[in-house]
Amino acid sequence: MDTAEIRRRFLAHFENAGHTVVPSAPLLLDDPNLLFVNAGMVPFKPYFLGQETPPWPTATSVQKCVRTLDIEEVGKTTRHGTFFQMNGNFSFGDYFKEGAITHAWRLITGSINDGGLGIDADTIWVTVLHSDQESREIWKRVAGLPDERIQDRGLLDNYWHMGVPGPGGPCSEIYVDRGPEFGPDGGPVVDEDRFLEIWNLVFMQEEITDVLAKDRFEVVGALPHQNIDTGMGLERVAYLLQDKRNLYEIDEVYPVIETASQISGRTYGRDHADDVRFRVIADHVRSGLMLMGDGVTPGNEARGYVLRRLLRRAVRSMRLLGFEDPALPLLLPVSLERMKASYPELEADFPRIEQVAYAEEEAFRQTLGKGTQIFEGAAAAVKQQGGSGLSGDAAFTLHDTYGFPIDLTLEMASEQGLSVDEDGFRALMAEQRSRAKADAKSKKGGHADTAVYRAALDAGGPTDWLAYSTLTTESRVLALIAGGRTVPAIGAGSVGEVVLDRTPFYAESGGQNADAGHLQWDGGRAEVLDVQRPVRGLVVHQVRVLDGELTVESPLEAAVDPEWRLGARQAHSGTHVVHAALREVLGPTALQSGSYNRPGYLRLDYGWSGALSPDQLRGVEEASNRALRADLPVTAQTMSLPEAREWGALALFGETYGEDVRVVEIGGPWSRELCGGTHVDRSSQIGTVVITSDGSVGSGNRRVEALVGIEGFQYLAKERDVVRQLTDLLKAKPDDVPSRVQDLMERLRAAEKAAERIKAAELLAGAGDLAHGAVDVGGVAFVGARLDGVGGGDLRTLALDVRGRIPADRPAVVALVGVVDDKPAVVVAVNQAGRDRGLSANTLVRAAGEQIGGRGGGKDDVAQGGGTDPAGAEAAVAAVEAALRP
């Protein structure tokens, strides 16, 4: 039975039992605690935690999941996979243990003809929590299982919770006996290779606290509503029903192995090391396909780094199999062919996906060429010195300078029998991140405790949000929050958060910045600094009280700054216009992958490899402004998500959408996107679109920035003023400015070269005087001097020239310190006679460097350095002279 058919049967079974079929959430679900969705119940967490009211009593889904902790284990075992699919059925206060067990039993043992999975009932074993006798009795009654096939287990195996205070409960796991060829008899407590777990039924019935470990917590009491959360591993059921030994051999994965085998000339199943590589390729190609399908692009941070790592491990595994040509163009379409039955959107989006993937492979091929040489040189040096491991500094250089991921360095080092100082590498990475990243605490919507917001929502209900229809509302204060807790009042000069019963303020979302404005009440006024939605349904305003005191239950007027809102509407509509223009000029694969807009400004990330030519950029800008001149109507309407997709509406990757979505159109199908932002009424109201930059933000991803409205006109006015000033200075017409500037540049370069020749002649002329002034220090001819205005290459050239003017048979040392713009530099040169005497410029320059607040280095014949203290220049010269004295 194909995997897609198992998936279809699962959903049909529960839909026929009255469950609502919920589409899989994107892998990039907006959860600050998760990199990717890693379990089937993740999209339902707000319902289980009581943060939101579930829209249905029962639901079923097949959820896409990615787990990244086991990437290194992929291929080494037959169980670890990065991407997997979790079938689940959920009850929110509806049926409980007996319902869950009955539904599961009927599906897995139901006949193929009746829509079941046809698993032999005599092969099924289950486990229950040792104290859960109720579940044992239900299994006996519903399924007729004998006691010996119902095994007790402890909290570690058969109790579920999230690792934090909240819901918990016992679970019952379903196993299938694969037969004696897979291991000893005795049930899952004896061998979990022979007895394969396919389904876990979680019975949420308790509230727990003081969670210290999987089996260490305190039970507070019963939950107000008993819930069901189940998870059936789709790939596991597939390899069971397809009579395969592992998940890599099922119909959705194995075709990639077959193709890899054909093009590499290696055979799967003959060599363990090769088999591991084949499995890595098959898993990572499929996982990469699914991640790119949900909008992830390769990068050096977070989700992008995971994707980059997966694709590069797959490519390198092909190289280790002996295939050095581009591999992804041959493998990725094979994976698409197997996955599109369950995820047809992959086929529609494949032009973008393959563009991203193939650009990443090409970039990695270049990285491999450069980085491998550096790695092999470093490894050879370690072995030559009798060492056994690469330093953290070497690993960091490979990563930072040559783009070599640390896991690739680890793999290559292991292949050569070397270790890597991972702690040293991690420390250097941490230093780099601490220098580069902004304070994470300033990021909005992080891991804050939402309990205070949930309490406000429960007390006052959802905020009546009126941002689409008005700029002012008469409102009432429902709650005030400061320091993470509710307070009765916020005084003048203080910053706090305000929950209103209704508001006209747009809360930051979908790339659009929050509105600015004021709250005004009898005797007081507050400035609105930010607006967020910490929990669904609740709008929270961060304010600074300017006058008076704001108290709970105060009536007030909430007013959005109309100029701010106008600029925001222009920028958000401008983002849609630029997106449509990009697709018009570059083609349908130039899809938006992220955006940000604030009044007058927009930036848009889009999938594309290679820089845009000036003609392409002009084309995008022209297409945008043609749309503005056409005065296209801007409309919004609400519909179901399937209807929107059928209508051709584009969805922003990584955003989470409800069952009903808002579709914004500009000029009908020319621009049709899912969007919750505020927009102008007609395109001409955007004013103008001025593209200010276009650059790369990662492999296969670019970012365009633009100004709109009055900010766009101001930008153009500044450029006009610059041109006017140039025309006045050059006494030229505007069209003649570029050629006149080019002529001036050429003349300037010629003058600079002439000045350099004169300066060099002056330096060489002074070299004779310096050499003639050499003094004898311990039998060494020493020349030392401070030279103001001489630095860099000139200082080195002069030192070498002075050294060359001293008789070759006389040991000589030249130490010159140059100072330019209060920055000292030092050069020490030693002739061959001096080196024969044991003198080293590398040693002497360090003594000089200490005196100018710096350091230096080089070879025995010439070394140089720099510092920060020009006042130490004379002392630096004296230090070298002192080092020569016997």
Annotated binding site for Zn(2+): 572, 576, 675, 679
Token pair belonging to 125: 């074993």
b/e map of 65-104 (b: 16 or more CB within 10 Å)? bbbeeebeebbeebbbbbbbbbbbbbbbebbbbebbbbbb
**Which residues are CB-neighbours of 860 under 8 A, at least 6 positions away?**
830, 835, 839, 840, 841, 842
Look up residue 544 and give its amino acid.
R
List for the chain the helix, strand, coil content (%; round to 5): 45, 25, 30
Q: Are 799 and 827 spatial neighbours (Cβ–Cβ below 8 Å)?
A: yes
Q: Would residue 309 be called left, alpha or beta, if left means φ above 0 and alpha means ψ between -120 and 50 degrees?
A: alpha
What's the Cα-to-Cα distance from 536 to each of 26, 40, 50, 529, rounded to whole Å?
Answer: 18, 21, 12, 20
Q: Which residues, other chains included, contact 380 with Cβ-Cβ below 8 Å and sequence gap of 6+?
A: none
Q: Is beta strand 524-532 parallel, antiparallel or unpaired with respect to 540-547?
A: antiparallel
DSSP state of 654: T
Report the Cα–Cα distance between both ends of the chain, in Å, rounded. 90
Are 536 and 510 in contact, with CB atoms under 8 Å apart?
Answer: no
Q: CA-CA distance, 435 to 506, in Å (whole number)?
A: 34
Q: What is the largest CA-CA distance in the chain?
A: 110
| Binding site feature residues | 572, 576, 675, 679
The neighbouring-strand residues paired with 222 are: 206
CA 517 to CA 395: how far, in whole Å? 51
Please tell me the distance from the alpha carbon of residue 167 to that of residue 103, in angstroms, as a whole number.
23
Helix ranges (H only) for 731-853 are 737-772, 792-805, 832-836, 841-851
Residue 218 burial class via C-beta count within 10 angstroms: exposed 0-12, middle 13-18, buried 19 and up: exposed
Asked whether the beta carbons of 856 and 848 are under 8 A apart, the reply is: yes
Residue 539 in contact with residue 503, Cβ under 8 Å? yes
Angle at 264 between CA 258 and CA 268, to 5 degrees: 45
How is the beta sheet containing 689-696 ordered, strand by strand?
592-598, 601-607, 701-708, 689-696
Give the DSSP H/E element, type plus range, for residue 406: helix 406-415
